[in-house]
Amino acid sequence: MCHPTVDITCYMRPGVRVHLAGIGGVSMCPLAEVLNGMGLAVQGSDMNDSPTVAHLRSLGIDIAIGHSAENLKDCDLVIRTAAIKDENPEIAGAIARGIPVYERAQAWGAIMREYENALCISGTHGKTTTTSMATHIFMAAQADPTVMIGGTLPLLHHAGYRVGQGDTIILESCEYCNSFLNFFPTVAVILNVAADHLDFFKDLQDIEHSFRSFAELVPQDGHVVANWDDSGARETLAGYEGSLLWFSTFDHGVDCYADNVAWFDGLPAFDIMIRGERYAHVELKVGGTHNISNALAAACSAWLLGIGGKAVEAGLNDFQGAGRRFEYKGTYHGADVYDDYAHHPDELHALLTMAKQRPYERIICAFQPHTYSRTKALFHRFVKELKLPDVAILAEIYAARETNDLGISSRDLAQEIPGAVYCSSLDKVTDSLAQIARPGDLILTVGAGDIYRAGERLLERK
């Protein structure tokens, strides 16, 4: 029953008992709350106790720490994260008992089929920010959307989701393990297509094939929105025959572009032009050309779904970033401390070049690579980008779902970067930051793991 033939939609009704394996994950937690709100009896498990787990328990959801077949109890179905494999004791236990096992993305797919508009935002990077921008726009338009973001958003009271009563659902859509191919988008956004998740995909061509399949999920009356500035997106969509809206930060020959771009203290203001007409004038509170691109993607999606330009202006002008996306954390001895989720070389480049536009004397980047396979596959690109800050501090690699069969360490990166400091623990990262920091510095804690804790511990030393 690991690949059940029964459509998961049949289980989306009150009283059904569902077990979520990996319930503390960034998209599993909101799924648990949505299912709980639909009247299902939700239970789950996670490898670690966390504030997320504590929050779900406060809603009456029973959660076990650690994975065991006994955790399943009398559940009717199991939903798992993409990172949990068949060998997991809960999955193996469910298969042995004939309990159907579904992927997290299948559950979200079943939920989104109930909406007239399903805005699904994909890309190797930029998904969380763009999904957050779209959320701001649709909230400003009083469209009352349902939202699922792979991060937190102050507008949503620092949650990563909301359940609305409107006809639109907005979802961050991840390509890892082809999860987004379980979705039913009416508007599919492709921000960029680059080599990543090479523990699952064979190569870039395999990734492009996955994104092309995602685009082809869109029905005849739906639309694809894509980034003309990204060669991977252009290659992916070559010959695509459906409704396709291209956007660009500089090319005025495409459907949507940024015009009259001006910069004020590192923050951009610009006109959004669509099909030859000015749709909105935006003054962003977040910096970087990559955020102009993200804003265009969100605006194109809104335009296609009938949202007026005034809501785009209000929503984007109010957006000040998502959680862990250049998120201000505090000040330590005159140095500003920010945190960012960047874990791919392209994301690092966007973050660090944007940071260099800000009025700081030095950029100090404490970076924690995420997964051994990514660090190995993109090693030289990481080295190149980590030479951009004035000081690079390298925390040990965050294993996530992997074991270190490749024999690689952040020490290897540090040896290739002049002046870099290698730290074997987060406490040592905090110590190094405390020793280095001085007034006028920008301190960045960067990575998809728990590197943010180093910055938080630094701020506790005031």
Calculate mean pLDDT across residues 138-157. Answer: 93
Q: Is the pLDDT of residue 1 over 60?
A: no
The model's pTM is 0.86
pLDDT at 2: 63
The closest of 230, 308, 295 to 269, measured between CA atoms, is 295
Calculate mean pLDDT across residues 5-30. Answer: 92
Calculate mean pLDDT across residues 271-298. Answer: 97
Asked if residues 61 and 53 have their Cβ atoms less than 8 Å apart, the reply is: no
**Whole-number percent of the chain with pLDDT over 70:** 99
Which of 71-80, 104-113, 128-137, 306-315 is least confident? 104-113
Q: Is the pLDDT of residue 103 over 90?
A: yes
pLDDT at 436: 96
The closest of 111, 100, 83, 112 to 25, measured between CA atoms, is 83
Calculate mean pLDDT across residues 101-113. Answer: 93
Ordered alpha helix ranges (H), 305-425: 309-318, 345-356, 372-377, 379-385, 410-414
Distance CA 368, CA 61 (A): 33
Distance CA 298, CA 282 (A): 12
CA atoms 250, 252, 258, 262: torsion sign: positive
Q: Is the pLDDT of residue 56 over 80?
A: yes
**Mean pLDDT, the chain, as a whole number?**
95
Pairing outcome for strands 267-274 and 391-395: unpaired
CA atoms 15, 18, 23, 27: torsion sign: negative
Calculate mean pLDDT across residues 121-127. Answer: 97
Q: Is the pLDDT of residue 3 over 80?
A: no
The total of other beta-carbon atoms located within 10 Å of residue 359's CB is 8
pLDDT at 140: 98
pLDDT at 34: 85
The closest of 231, 227, 196, 234 to 294, measured between CA atoms, is 227
Could you report the per-residue pLDDT of 232-251, keeping only the tens digit for each? 999 999 999 999 999 999 99
The total of other beta-carbon atoms located within 10 Å of residue 36's CB is 16
pLDDT at 249: 98
User: Domains of the chain, with CATH numbers?
Assistant: 8-107 (3.40.50.720), 115-318 (3.40.1190.10), 327-460 (3.90.190.20)
The secondary structure element, H or E, covering residue 270 is: strand 267-274
286 by DSSP, 3-state: which?
Answer: coil
Could you report the per-residue pLDDT of 152-179, keeping only the tens digit for each? 899 998 888 888 889 999 999 999 889 9
As given in the structure block, the two tokens for residue 110 are 């079943």
Grade residue 188 by pLDDT with cuts at 50, 70 and 90. very high
Could you report the per-residue pLDDT of 338-359, keeping only the tens digit for each? 999 999 999 999 999 999 999 9
Asked if residues 170 and 134 have their Cβ atoms less than 8 Å apart, the reply is: yes
Q: Is the pLDDT of residue 218 over 60?
A: yes
Tell me 60's DSSP state. Answer: T
